[in-house]
Amino acid sequence: MDSIYILINETYKILFLLIPVLVTVAMIVWLDRRVWAFVQKRRGPNVVGPFGLLQSVADALKYIFKEIIIPASSNKVIFVIAPIITMTLALVSWAVIPFSENLVLADINVGILYLFAVSSLGVYGIIMGGWASNSKYPFLGAIRSAAQMVSYEVSIGVIIINVLLCVGSLNLNDIVLAQQNMWFVVPLFPMFVIFFISALAETNRPPFDLPEAEAELVAGYQTEYSGMMYAMFWLGEYANILLMCAMGSILFLGGWLPPVDSEIFAFIPSPFWLIFKILFLFILFALIKAIVPRYRYDQLMKLGWKIFLPFSLIWVILTAGYLLYFNMLPGQI
């Protein structure tokens, strides 16, 4: 009976996390499109439901009822598995995201390592989808995505080292609590900027959406997909975008902590601060898509390997030297 109770309890916790994430993914697509429309002086979704809020629901219903077409020349098993892997990995990453000090599904000591590992596996779904389609456009998109994600994950990993040097822990709760006096975005502002740009490349967002470049590759690795299988890629992509916004909020913007420890903000629950910061970063993602033109692929690779990576490595040395000189390393306090 105890094992059944534990299973039910854990299932409840997982559903309590996943259902809001899936609903939020649907809503941020609406927000994404509204921001583009605002920048370009258009109306955006405004017909289906109040303020167009049900447009995402209408799109989801369209995907559900649309026929799934599997190309005759494709590797059918891998073709079907690829979007499932992409969506699953995007959702399981949320297990370690703390919305408050006690509101987290799995408070593990290596939370940041878990996030980095799971997000790195996401490229497998894209590679499998592009290869299994047995078509040149999806395959080229998958290869581009693999090179792009690996390149910018290196920079993100080095950036995270700067934060870990200041905290001395891989636990996400500890990282947030270490920012009670000052958010890390202040002393590590250049790293925050590089992290934000790298997150754009990591999630294939404009101006780095080269794996999906419609002018060159039709739709990249998604070209041969339709119906709910295409929607799974879409869900995984937006869940990853939200995850990167959550990581940026936790690493640099104090997570669930308010801007100032004051009585004025005491009545606002901690999770709302993290949600607000995630939305703020997502709006920046959407604004960049509407404003910045697409990079060439060689420019993208040059930015990652010749600019971001050396600068991040130099900043790690500077951060470590500063903390060591002033006896501020966590082990020295």
- The residue ranges of every structural domain in the chain are 70-325
Is residue 170 a contact partner of residue 117, using CB atoms and an 8 Å limit? no
Segment of 40-49, 204-213, 312-321 carrying the highest mean pLDDT: 312-321
pTM to 2 decimals? 0.89
Q: What is the pLDDT of residues 157-199, one digit of tens each?
A: 899 999 998 888 888 888 998 888 889 998 899 999 999 999 9
Closest among 282, 333, 321, 287 to 25, alpha carbons compared: 282
Q: What is the pLDDT of residues 69-82, one digit of tens each?
A: 888 888 888 888 98
The tokens for 267 are 């009545």
- The Cα–Cα gap between 135 and 133 comes to 5
Is residue 225 a contact partner of residue 129, using CB atoms and an 8 Å limit? yes
Name residue, tokens 């992290």. Answer: 195
Name residue, tokens 């581009």. Answer: 144
Banded model confidence at residue 146, pLDDT cuts 50, 70, 90: confident
- pLDDT value of position 5: 63
Q: What angle do CA 263, 268, 272 make, to 5 degrees?
A: 140
Closest among 195, 161, 164, 157 to 178, alpha carbons compared: 164
Q: What is the pLDDT of residues 90-121, one digit of tens each?
A: 888 888 888 888 888 778 888 888 888 888 88
